[in-house]
Amino acid sequence: MSANIEKSDPKPEAITVHFRNLRRCSNVFQPFLALCEVWSGDPSSTESPRLLGEIHRTYRNSASYTPGVPVWIYRDAKTGEKLESFHSETNLREQIVAHYGGTEPVSPKESTYQIWEAAVILVGLPNSSEQHRQATKQVMAVLDRHFNDYSIVPSHGRFRGVSESTLAIYLTPPNGKLLTQVASELRKVLNEDGVGIYFNGKYLRVTADACGHME
């Protein structure tokens, strides 16, 4: 735990600190994920509540931090100064309440955010602009049958020494079997030789002859 807000800084008058959890985002990659807002007073009331700052979860690429272990950060909306916790969001909330010398109407609780395993599907596309648009619509039609949330990023790659337009599809499948099934459907719809998958640190190329699936 580290506190970067100077202890000598003047503290505001004791206030009621209210935490409002934010809805979980649908984007797969959230390197600096906002978990909740911190207010002085209840933001749903009519008594002029004030936004104090936000709690985020992130990862640090530094010798002072453990790789792959999340850090919870509170950043003051007015000054930009921050509080940090290596332990939990609950620990950070307790620091925030203590910093403002206030009280919290509800006991601190962990955010309801859930961390999912992210996957990437790589699909080759025709180079023609019109065919590219049609293929993208076909891809989305397949994805919509199986997933509520996903991100599509137009990209460019090379396969067997040949350049081709590519769609990188980022999503969070419940398991590798469904992921492979969707990749197989995309291959058939687009009449591709194969479709690539990254999942759990592994790569699989789904072709007409490859019947295996990710675990």
Mean pLDDT of 28-41: 72
CATH topology of domain 119-207: Alpha-Beta Plaits (3.30.70)
Higher pLDDT, 98 or 7: 98
Looking at every residue in the chain, the average pLDDT score rounds to: 78
**Single pTM value for the model:** 0.48
- What is the distance, to the nearest Å, from the Cα of residue 65 to the centroid of all Cα atoms in its chain? 20
Phi, psi for 78 (deg, rounded to 5): -90, -45
Please state the domain extents for the chain: 2-99, 119-207
Higher pLDDT, 58 or 138: 138
pLDDT at 27: 47
pLDDT at 88: 85
pLDDT at 7: 45
The per-residue DSSP string of 99-115 comes to HTT-B-SS---------
pLDDT over 90 percentage in the chain? 16
State yes or no: pLDDT of 8 exceeds 80: no
State yes or no: pLDDT of 53 exceeds 70: yes
State yes or no: pLDDT of 106 exceeds 70: no
CA atoms within 13 Å, Cβ hemisphere of 157: 14
